[in-house]
Amino acid sequence: MRCVATVIAAILMTLLTPVASYAGGGCPAGTTPAPGVGGICIPVVDPGTGGGNTPIGSGGGGTPGEDVCQWTLASPQPPASDPAWGGNSSDDGKLFLCVLPGTGTPTYRFVPDGEATPPDPAVLAARALGQLRLTVPDVHTAPASPSKTYVGLETWLWMPSEQWTTLTKSVTAGATTVTVTAKPQKVEWKMGAGSTSCHDAGRPWQTGKMSKTDRTSCKFVYTRVSDFQPDKKFTMSAVITFDVAWVCSGDCLADDGVMGAVDGLPGNSSISVGERQSVNISPKEL
């Protein structure tokens, strides 16, 4: 499973490539603006000479760092009649070349001389996700501590309904704004003696207001006692998995993308599990 730390690590791998920055005055001699990263310059080198490549997220969906292009200055530059220029002129800028791993298909991007391109929206999306506070569930059970639950008994599991909600976060760089949306998809309950997945917040148990016919979609049945655990309790946790996507507005290299499943941080608790003793009585004793 992926987590927020994995996404942030991908950002750092992207941003720590040795480059020079510039601010409106063009790139230093021997460098040119990096496609997809506003304000960053990369060395101008021929492909294959070693160095001068910078990993740039594709901006077309997926977790940042999964689809990574190694952009290099196309050498030789395609002829003026090549559609890769997209109506641009070699007098105004240069074409950079990328081949996504596993595709074999080249992609070109025109970079005007001395001008910054819009930032890669996939990188901004990862930054927004890193700033988003994914919900940590407040764990509730019935029976609830300090009372015991019992082997064979349905133990109800839930979190407050307001914690099962869609979260958003926006990041802006220049004229580019990326908004990340994280929708809860499931909760993984690890019960110390097994686990279960629920696709909602669960139903709260209301003492004195429930009947034997009431049911919940989120429950767990223990098959053994907790007597031999530390403190004679099972440690339990709940983690929400979010479905994360982003949209870009303003000056964008891509309109939207999908970051996939991302886990939040766990909410923790503990529970005691006992066993009810039964006595067998022979009919002759009645």
Q: What is the largest CA-CA distance in the chain?
A: 106
Token pair, residue 194, equals: 């097994």
pTM flag (> 0.75): no
Q: What DSSP designation does 3 have?
A: B
Residue 81 CA: distances (Å) to CA of 90, 95, 118, 275: 11, 13, 26, 81
Q: List the beta bridge partners of residue 46.
A: none
Q: Domain map of the chain by residue range?
A: 4-117, 124-274
Any residues with CB less than 8 A from the CB of 51 and at least 6 apart, and which?
A: 43, 45
More confident residue, 159 or 253: 159
Band of the pLDDT at 284, cuts 50, 70, 90? very low
pLDDT tens per residue across span 139-158: 999 998 888 999 999 999 99
* pLDDT per position as a tens digit, 190-221: 999 999 999 999 999 887 666 666 789 899 99
The answer for 162, left when phi > 0, alpha when psi is -120 to 50, beta otherwise, is: alpha
- Confidence check: pLDDT of 34 > 60: no
Q: Which residues pair with 189 in a beta bridge?
A: 196, 238
Whether residue 33 is preceded by a cis peptide bond, meaning omega within 30 degrees of 0, is no
Q: What does the radius of gyration of the chain's CA atoms come to, in whole angstroms?
A: 28
Q: Which of 66-75, 198-207, 271-280 has the highest mean pLDDT?
A: 198-207
Residue carrying structure tokens 């700033």: 131
- Average predicted confidence (pLDDT) for the chain: 76
The residue-averaged pLDDT of 86-104 equals: 80
**How many other C-beta atoms can be found within 10 angstroms of the C-beta atom of residue 101?**
10
Indicate the SS3 state at residue 154. strand
| Whether 187 contacts 159, CB under 8 Å | yes
The CA angle 194-218-229, to the nearest 5 degrees, is 30
Closest CA to 223 of 196, 187, 200, 197: 196
CA atoms within 13 A on the CB side of 284: 0
Q: For 110-128, write each residue's pLDDT tens digit.
A: 878 776 667 888 889 999 9
| Per-residue pLDDT at 282 exceeds 80 | no
- What pLDDT shows up at residue 38? 37
Lowest mean pLDDT among 45-59, 210-224, 227-241: 45-59
- Confidence at 103, pLDDT banded by 50, 70, 90: low
Cα 245–Cα 261–Cα 158 angle in degrees, nearest 5: 110
